[in-house]
Amino acid sequence: MSDISNIVIREGRKEDCVQIRGLIQELADYEKTPDGPKITADTLIQDGFGDRPFFHMFVAELDNQLVGFTLYFYAYSTWEGKAIYMEDIYVKPEYRSKGLGTKLWKSVVNTGLKEGCTRCNFQVLDWNKPSIDYYKRQGATDISESEGWLAFRMNHAAMKAFVLKGETMGAKGLKENLKA
């Protein structure tokens, strides 16, 4: 293994997406959901580097190999204004506990501060106690404990079913929107 001091944290580029897809798979394996990721490197390129980027990322690079990444996007709070959301953060096991995850996370937080964001939101699995403890030590608050907020999600099928339920736009307009 090369010297950790040679690791560079930088903004992600579209040519990183093949390696990023591999790191996403490693993260999914760690999270015990190996069949979770459905996206491809091409999807990442299109969604992150097209005309309307849906995400941004920082990567940790050592000798032209990515050893970690964090993916984030901007959000908005109706109570506080601009926010930044960290979707994922991952560091290869052999590079953990060396400050690399902290550097990646700080890159996201610093970006948010520069953009005038008032909060950095993210989620962590309830069984990942080492990460939960770490985030709390850094000043993050578990809002499910402190405020009672629960995270919800609708998958694609549920989104379609919801839109079709009790149609108010009119059937034709709604069905045309769903085809896209």
The H or E element that residue 145 is part of is helix 143-146
* Single-letter code of the amino acid located at 145: E
The H or E element that residue 87 is part of is strand 81-91
DSSP 66: E
The H or E element that residue 58 is part of is strand 56-62
On whether the CB atoms of residues 76 and 82 are closer than 8 A, the answer is yes
- Of the residues 74, 95, 134, 135, only one is catalytic, namely 135
Residue 74 among the catalytic residues: no
CA 63/CA 143 separation, integer angstroms: 39
Active-site residue list: 135
